[in-house]
Amino acid sequence: MRNHVRPDVLAYYFPHWHADERDAEWISPGFTEWELVNRAVPRFPGHRQPRVPALGCRDESDPVVMESEVRLAHDHGIDGFIFDYYWYDDGPYLQRALDEGFLGRETGGSPFRFALMWANHDLLDLYPLPAPTSRSRPRLLRPGAIARDAFEAMTDHIVAAYFSRPDYHTVAGRPFFSVYELGTFVESMGGPDAAADALRSLDRKARRAGLPGVHVDVVVWGTGVLPNHVTLDRPRQLLQALPVASTSSYTWLHHVDLSAHSFPVGDWDRVREEVFDQYRAYPHELSLPFIPNLSVGWDSSPRTSPDGPWEYNPGYGWTPVFECSAASVAKAAADAAQLLAVQPDAPPIVTVNAWNEWTEGSYLLPDTDRGTALLEALSAAFPR
């Protein structure tokens, strides 16, 4: 048991709210997911759609916009963003929110930090996802698996461009770098030994840059949500073979059997209880420190086709809707703090899903219905 230490609260940041030249080729010129937010419609009586951003549908690559969001986050107890970071075999994707927005703003010595989670999942056309009745599969835009040379190109870039910055989040001085799909990474590198060698290569690059190495974190999954995910049969044995420092969770939905929950609306407090039962077991089961996550709802209907009835379908899209309240945030924050307290070796971090996952119904940013209620609850739970 460690003494009470306020954890660093890091919110996942989803960067699909600016135009990207790849989207112009794959989807349409100027596309952002604001189009899906604005087109969303209620799918059942009482369904809270469309969600209307209280601050408007803004371009996150604008440093002025990003700075206003950073200030809002910091004023409500958030210490940094973990950017979902995309890099495929042929190079980067969705970089402008970080490179132009976040890093382009006038910081004035702001203590607000950032880190990266490599979102190495298959990139599917979910804009929108075809209805199950259509028997169509979502189009694969880019595979999440990348070759070793692409991994080396990515890590060359992130070490040079991000890791040495004073506002990059570190654990014991080491830059925090998380991998979303461990199975995909290991498979694409050619197996556990090759994956371990790739991570050691990243660590050497950081050391050559004058850093004490890299804190590698991996996201663990209970139940997969996104289609095409790669699962792990023996995660503990695999993790022991890799130079990994911690494990974490991206969203509660990765740890829930949705078929066991009511539809179309589920109970978020029940989800929290089920998820934290799993979270408490992970440090022992995986023999690694575990960073708990606080998730703030789920509604992926904006990414689905409006054609056909709204019926439960296993997988991604047609799932129960879960609304999060301020009281739910407070309960989850207490659970997360307790879990960290019994892990003296765990990084003092709580992650939040998410700052701005509007098209999955998981966001802290204010909408016109609930305003800043979730932000205020988070701030009260983790006072500075």
Q: Does the pLDDT at position 137 exceed 80? A: yes
Query: What span, in angstroms and rounded, lies between the C-alpha atoms of 308 and 139?
Result: 19
Q: How many CB atoms within 10 Å of residue 198?
A: 21
CA within 13 Å, CB half, 226: 20
For the residues 173-194, what does the mean pLDDT come to? Answer: 96
Using a pLDDT cut of 70, give the percent of the chain over it: 96
| pLDDT for res 225 | 45
Q: What is the pLDDT of residues 167-180, one digit of tens each?
A: 999 999 999 999 99
| Largest Cα span, the chain | 58
Instruction: Taking residues 342-366, report their average pLDDT.
Output: 98
pTM for the whole thing? 0.96
In the predicted structure, residue 206 carries a pLDDT above the cut 90: yes
Helices (H), 165-287: 182-189, 192-208, 235-240, 268-286
Mean pLDDT of 229-244: 78
Per-residue pLDDT of 5-56, as tens digits, reads 899 999 999 999 999 999 999 999 999 999 999 999 999 999 999 999 999 9
Residue 147 clears pLDDT 50, i.e. is over it: yes
1 pLDDT tier (thresholds 50, 70, 90)? low
Nearest to 102 by CA among 188, 168, 48: 168
The CATH number of 8-381 is which of 3.20.20.80, 3.40.50.620, 1.10.3720.10, 3.40.640.10? 3.20.20.80
What percentage of the chain carries pLDDT values higher than 90? 88
Asked if the model's pLDDT at residue 108 lies above 80, the reply is no
> DSSP state, 131?
P
C-alpha pair distances (Å), 238 with each of 13, 129, 224, 286, 347: 28, 33, 18, 9, 21
**Cβ-contact 292, 340 below 8 angstroms:** yes
Query: What mean pLDDT is predicted for residues 123-134?
Result: 90
Task: Answer whether residue 245 shows pLDDT above 60.
Answer: yes
Is the pLDDT at 136 greater than 90, yes or no?
no
pLDDT of residue 213: 99
Residue 68: pLDDT over 80: yes
Q: CA-CA distance, 172 to 347, in Å (whole number)?
A: 9
Given a cut of 80, whether residue 229 has pLDDT beyond it is no
* Average pLDDT over the chain, rounded to an integer: 95
Q: How large is the average pLDDT for residues 190-200?
A: 97
Is residue 308's pLDDT more than 60? yes
116's tokens: 């990266």
Lowest mean pLDDT among 97-106, 210-219, 220-229, 352-361: 220-229
pLDDT band at residue 249 under the 50/70/90 scheme = very high
Instruction: Give 320's contacts (C-beta < 8 A, 6+ positions apart).
Output: 258, 261, 262, 263, 264, 265, 266, 298, 312
The 3-state DSSP class for residue 248 equals strand
Burial 100-137, CB ≥16 within 10 A → b, else e: bbbbbbeeeeeebbbbbbbbbbbbbebbbbbbbeeeee
Contacts 24+ apart (CB under 8 A), 190-198: 190/148, 192/238, 192/241, 192/242, 193/241, 194/148, 195/242, 196/241, 196/242, 196/243, 198/148, 198/151, 198/152
